[in-house]
Amino acid sequence: MSVLDELLALEKGFWRSAGHPEYYREHLASDPVFALPAPTGILGERALLEAVETAAPWEEFRFQDLRTIVLGEDARALVYKARGTRPGAPAYEAIVSSVYVRADNEWKLVLHQQTPTS
């Protein structure tokens, strides 16, 4: 499996795990940061896990224009356009960046940022 395939599988897992913080706990690096649209803002691990627990699940989502950027031997950025829908809400579109670090042969998410486009 390529690094892109590994990171894409992890990223999709995060999107599928709204309402289920266990996946996040397993795949986050230590001291992660999430920069999310207002009113959420910048979240550390504790606030993030609380937000994930109450988040509505995505009905569907898709990624486009996927790119990886090598940041170092054990660090990669995944950048893409995302579109998703949740029950009773308008479609959400954003430019997304996620930074992963490899520790003990596993990729862990250390930084995630979303910029809405709609």
- CATH number of the structural domain spanning residue 33: 3.10.450.50
* Section 10-37 average pLDDT: 95
Q: Is 16 left (phi over 0), alpha (psi -120 to 50) or beta?
A: alpha
Does position 44 have pLDDT exceeding 80, yes or no? Answer: yes
Q: Which domain holds residue 9?
A: 3-116
Does position 38 have pLDDT exceeding 90, yes or no? Answer: no
Sheet holding 106-116, edge to edge: 41-43, 28-36, 106-116, 92-103, 75-85, 60-72
- The SS3 of residue 25 is helix
Per-residue pLDDT at 17: 93
Does position 1 have pLDDT exceeding 90, yes or no? Answer: no
The fraction of the chain above a pLDDT of 90, given in percent, is: 92
* Section 17-29 average pLDDT: 94
Q: What's the structural domain count of the chain?
A: 1
- Residue 26's H or E segment, with its range, is helix 21-27
